[in-house]
C-alpha cells in the first residue's frame, strides 16, 4: 500500500470515529501500519479538519519520516503494540462513554453477546493505570492486550486493534456497544455470560464462515 493510501485511510477512519460519537473534540487517536512505517493522527487537530497531508508518518522508533505536525501524544502506545504484534495493521483509541465507565471502575468487559464473541473473541481486560502518553501506559496496555483485539485503559478509555485500521474501528464500535449493553444489563441483575467453550465456538465459526470467500471478515 502506498503511504498516501495509508494516510487517507487514517483520515477516513478518524472522521468516522468522530461522526460515530466515540470521541469528542480532539481526543482519541488513529494509526495504520505498513511494514516499518506508521501513519498516525497529529496531536490536537480536530478530526473534521484533517487532510491526508496532516497525518504524520513515523518509523517504529518514533522518528518522523514525513509530516509537518507533532504526532499524537499516545504515539508510544501505538508503537509498543505494533512492535509486539506483527499481525496488527491498525489501531484506534477512543474515549467513548460505555468503555470509559468500565475503565473508570477497572471492570473488564465479559463476553456475553454473540457479536463480541465473534469479533473480539472473549473478554476485554483492563490495563493497569498509568498516566496518558507515557511509556509506562504503553507497556501496561501491551501486557494486558496480549494476543487480544481490545484493551481498556484504566481511568482513561479503550484501545482496539485490527489487521487494518478499518477493522480496528469496528473492534472499538463492537466493544463500545457491548460495554453500553453490559451497563444496562447490570441494572437487570447482570447479563447471562457465554461459556468459554461457546465463545470459542462462535469465534471459530465466524472466522471460518462469515462473509464472502476471500473477502475477509
Contacts with Zn ion, residue ranges (CB under 5 A): 157
Of 76 and 157, CB closest to Zn ion = 157
Cell numbers for 83, please give them: 512492535
C-alpha pair distances (Å), 58 with each of 8, 26, 33, 78, 162: 15, 20, 10, 11, 19
User: How far does CA 113 lie from the centroid of its chain?
Assistant: 19
Least distance CB 136 / Zn ion (angstroms): 14
Cell numbers for 177, please give them: 456497544
Which DSSP symbol is given to 111?
A: -
Of 28 and 122, CB closest to Zn ion = 28
Least distance CB 47 / Zn ion (angstroms): 14
Of 129 and 206, CB closest to Zn ion = 129
Q: 181, 117, 123: which is closest to 152 by C-alpha? A: 123
Place of cell 509537518: 68
Least distance CB 95 / Zn ion (angstroms): 6
> Is residue 135 annotated as a catalytic residue, yes or no?
no
Of 137 and 202, CB closest to Zn ion = 137
Of 111 and 157, CB closest to Zn ion = 157
Is residue 157 within a helix (H) or strand (E), and if so which, with residue range? strand 157-162
User: How far does CA 53 lie from the centroid of its chain?
Assistant: 23
Least distance CB 35 / Zn ion (angstroms): 26
Which residue in 4, 53, 74, 167 is the catalytic one?
74
Least distance CB 158 / Zn ion (angstroms): 9
User: E strands, 2-138, where?
Assistant: 29-34, 37-40, 56-59, 64-66, 90-94, 126-127
Q: Catalytic residue numbers?
A: 74
Amino acid at each position: 500500500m502506498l503511504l498516501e493510501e495509508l494516510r487517507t485511510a487514517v483520515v477516513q477512519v478518524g472522521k468516522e470515529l468522530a461522526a460515530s460519537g466515540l470521541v469528542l473534540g480532539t481526543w482519541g487517536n488513529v494509526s495504520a501500519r505498513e511494514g516499518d512505517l506508521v501513519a498516525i493522527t497529529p496531536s490536537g487537530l480536530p478530526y473534521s479538519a484533517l487532510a491526508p497531508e496532516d497525518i504524520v508518518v513515523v518509523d517504529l522508533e518514533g522518528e518522523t519520516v514525513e509530516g509537518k505536525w507533532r504526532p499524537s501524544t499516545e504515539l508510544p502506545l501505538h508503537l509498543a503494540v505494533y512492535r509486539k504484534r506483527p499481525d496488527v495493521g491498525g489501531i484506534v483509541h477512543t474515549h467513548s462513554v460505555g468503555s470509559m465507565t468500565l475503565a473508570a471502575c477497572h471492570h473488564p468487559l465479559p463476553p456475553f453477546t454473540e457479536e463480541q464473541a465473534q469479533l473480539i473473541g472473549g473478554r476485554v481486560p483492563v490495563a493497569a493505570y498509568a498516566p496518558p502518553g507515557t511509556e509506562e501506559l504503553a507497556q501496561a496496555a501491551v501486557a494486558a492486550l496480549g494476543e487480544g483485539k481490545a484493551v481498556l485503559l484504566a481511568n482513561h478509555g479503550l484501545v482496539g486493534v485490527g489487521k487494518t485500521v478499518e477493522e480496528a474501528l469496528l473492534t472499538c464500535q463492537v466493544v463500545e456497544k457491548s460495554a453500553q449493553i453490559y451497563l444496562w444489563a447490570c441494572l437487570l441483575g447482570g447479563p447471562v455470560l457465554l461459556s468459554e467453550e461457546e465463545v470459542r465456538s462462535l469465534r471459530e465459526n465466524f472466522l471460518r464462515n462469515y462473509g464472502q470467500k476471500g473477502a475477509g471478515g
